[in-house]
Amino acid sequence: MSMADRDQTSIDPARRRLLEGTLGALGAAASGTLGASSLEQTKRQGLGPGGLGERSAFESISRQAAYGIASLTPLERLHGTITPADLHFERHHGGIPTLGPDHELLIHGMVEHPLRFSLEDLKRFPSVTRICFVECAGNYFPRGDTSTPQMLCGLTSQSEWTGVRLSTLLREVGARINATWLIAEGSDAAVLSRSIPIEKALDDALVVYAQNGEALRPAQGYPLRLLLPGWEGNTNVKWLRRIELTDAPAMSREETSKYTEPLRDGSIRQFSFELEARSVITAPACPQTIEPGWHEIRGLAWSGRGRIDRVEVSTDGGKTWQIASLQGPVLPKAHTRFNLPWRWDGQQTELMSRAVDETGYMQPTLKHIYKRWGPGSGPYHFNPIIGWLVRRDGEIRFSPTA
């Protein structure tokens, strides 16, 4: 059914005028007369304020579905470091549950006073707001030389999160001194649960109810989720309903058969919570085509170990490296923007970036990862240097050998 065939009585008159103007502008853009259309806009009153802001009709941006269980953030289309809430990546194990504000959080187990907290109860505690990224542990899925930053590592996003410190809640319930672990459990159909060392809970863990200034979106855990800055996304349990304090890990599905890494010697690496330093050049990158001349190399770097100390960029396939500029503020366990001016001479070359965090850890090559952990390791905690092949015709392709 065309727009003209729709029941016009269901459209607010002011919205109809905006729609007609937008369609007219789009038509003008298609015929090369956008300038004239813009001039016409100055001759009539525009739409007044509404109840909810919208993106311009000229801007089209969306996530990309992956394997029916995730959607990827379009890293190469974003600016700054904050991801709009509706573009934050999604990864679900049992779909998105429908929960209301009457949802409660139970904290029990090795505590003096087991308690249930309503959403309003939690909002009465001192609130904490911090900016940090969330990243899926399995965030490296190259799909040929046409892979984009979104396809390669779009399972990371950054938000401003607001909630209450988990340590505050543990003091409220009287966590016993011999409690060394906690079991965090969600309300999804998978009843996803993860074991978390008590040290992390007492450090910087939050129970959050807001994201980028508004209530959590359902896909991001509404009404409550656990936030463990710098730790693999699976531990940041969404739709949080229960925290049990214990003296041993639960050995749940998501920390035994899943989210563990087979090693070269046949053993298994388990509870590898921290996410290592990583970076990706988002421009120029596939599927861009560039011309000889000056360009600004731009990208993102992050580390679950703390702040990014520096980002090194190579414009000759790794033969030499230059230190890029970091755009402040450089926050701990947060996405950091980097840039470097570069003059392309029209010859084939390869662009790379590698991040170094404040602990001295340097982002490795794929060969180094396989040498250390073995060819059967992964896909968890894969953070290799990503290369972009710049062809003579200016087309940019992913270089899987970086």
Tokens of 27: 């038509």
Which string of b and e fits 217-233 if b means at least 16 CB within 10 Å? bebbbbbbbbbbbbbbb
DSSP sequence for 18-43? HHHHHHHHHHHHHTT-HHHHHHHHTT
Task: Indicate the residue type of 135.
Answer: E
The domain ranges of the chain are 64-259, 278-399
The predicted pLDDT at position 402 comes to 60
Tokens of 274: 């921290």
Q: What is the mean pLDDT of the segment spanning 174-196?
A: 97
Between CA 153 and CA 149 the distance in angstroms is 6
pLDDT in tens, 65-90: 988 889 999 999 999 999 999 999 99
Is a pLDDT exceeding 70 seen at residue 160? yes
Question: Domain 64-259 maps to which CATH number in 2.120.10.70, 3.30.1330.90, 3.30.450.40, 3.90.420.10?
Answer: 3.90.420.10
Tokens of 236: 């940041």
The predicted pLDDT at position 40 comes to 85
Is a pLDDT exceeding 90 seen at residue 396? yes
Q: Which are the contacts of 135, defined by CB distance < 8 A and separation ≥ 6?
A: 155, 156, 232, 233, 275, 302, 304
The CA distances from residue 160 to 81, 106, 225, 253, 374, in Å, are 10, 25, 14, 30, 37
Q: Which residue has the higher pLDDT, 362 or 259?
A: 362
* pLDDT tier for residue 6 given thresholds of 50, 70 and 90: very low
The predicted pLDDT at position 18 comes to 47
The predicted pLDDT at position 389 comes to 98
* CATH code for the domain defined by 278-399: 2.60.40.650
Contact 274, 265 (CB under 8 A): no
Q: Is the dihedral of CA 283, 277, 165, 91 positive or negative?
A: positive
The predicted pLDDT at position 35 comes to 53
